[in-house]
Structure 1
C-alpha cells in the first residue's frame, strides 16, 4: 500500500477512535453529574453561548430537571426568561472539562498558524459532511407509508418499521421468520404482527411475499437468470412455489414477464 492510502486509512481509524473516546468521556461525565446526553448538551450550550433564552435550550421538563439538580437557574430578561449556569455547575465544568480543554489548547499551541487554518477548514468541511449524512440517516425514521394516525392506533414507529424493512431486504434469499422481525421491532410476535398490520395494511408474511415478488420482477427484467435460479435468489423453495405466489400477487406468471421483456 502506498503512503497516501495508508495515511488516509490511519486518519479514518483515528477519527473513529476519537469519536468513541469522546462519547465515552461524555457518558462518564453524565454518570458523575447524573445527567443524560440532552442535559449535557444543554449545559454545553449555555456554557459556551452565555445566558440563553428559555425556549432556545430545552423542553420545560428538561429545564425543571436541571434546576432541581442545581445546575441552571432562571433570570428575567427583556420581558422573558433566560437560563444561566449556577456556580455549582461552573465548578463541575471546571473540574471535569477544564483539564481536557487545557490539554487541547496546549496541543494546538504547538502548531503554526497556517496549520491551524488547515485544521479549522478541515473540521468545518467535515462537520458539513456529517450534518448532511445525519439528515440522510434521519430520513430513514420517516417511512412515507406510515401515517401518524396509524401509529397512534397502535402501529409501528417509523424507526421500527424501517429496521424491519431493511432486515427483510437484506435477507430475501433466506427464510424469514416473524420472530426475527419482531425482535427488530422490540415487540413480542403477537404485538408485532398486530402493529405491522396496522402500519402496512397486511400481515408480515404477505408483505415479505410481495417484496420477494417485486425483487423477482426486477431480476426477470434485468437479468438472464433461469426462473429456477430467480426463485431461489428471492427466497422461494422451488420454481413451482415461486410461480404460484407470483401469479397470485400479479395475475401473471414469471414466464410471461420474461417473455414480454424480450
Structure 2
C-alpha cells in the first residue's frame, strides 16, 4: 500500500501553508482518499506517478487553472488528473474538495477487467470542471463517511471502487500514436483471463500459466507484466480477493469455504492476505458491505 508520503498530489497540498487536511485514509486495493480545505493559494502538480480524481464539495468558484483563467470551479465540479500530467492551479477565496488517489496497478486491473484492453494502450483522459451528477453524488457519499471507523472505511472503499470504475468507463481513451511492442498477443491475454477466472480455486502456478502460452516461465512473467501492467502473482491475488469480496457481500458461506473457493490454502491465510490489502478482516468486510448490499 503506497504511503501518503509517496503520493505527489497529496504532498503538494500538504506542503501548502494555506491548505488544511480534514481527513485521509488508505482504502485498500491501491486507493487512498483525502478531504481538503484551501484558501487563497497556488498549487502546481508535476508528473505524479498516480492518478487523482477530485470533486469540489463547497465553494471553489474562484479556482482555475493558470492557463485557463476564464474557466472556474464550483460545487460538484469534477476533475480528472492522470498520472504524469502537469497542471497549475490558482485558488482565490475558499474551497473544500475530495481527492481520490488511484495507483497504476489499480488502473491496470480496471483496464483488463472492464475494458478488455492492455493498460499500456490506454490513458485516463484529463478533464477539468466536468459535470457528472451521479459521480458527484458518489463523492459526497464518500466524504460523508468517517474513514477512521472500520465499517465506514469499508463502505468508503466500496464507493471509491464505484468512482474509479465509472471514470474508467467514461474517461479512458486510446493512447495516440502508440505502437505496442512485446507482450502477449490479445488472444493469449483473453485466454489467460478466462482460464484464471475459471480456476481461481486451484493452486495456479507460474509454470502452469506459462505453458498455456508456450513460453518459459521467465519470458512469460516478463510478457505478462507488459500486457497486464502488473506481475502474474499480483494479478492472481487481486482476482482472488475480488471473488472473495463478492462471496462475502452476497452469501453466507463460512470463511473457510470462501477461502477454498478463492484459492487460499486456509482461512487464516485468506484472512491475512485480505487484511493486508483491505485493512480489514473478511468478517468485518462481510458485516459492513453485506449490510449495504441488503439495503
TM range (shorter): 0.3 to 0.5
Q: Which has the higher helix share?
A: 1
With a CA cutoff of 8 Å and minimum separation of 6, indicate the structure with the bigger relative contact order: 2
Greater CA radius of gyration, 1 or 2? 1
Q: TM-score, normalised by structure 2?
A: 0.39
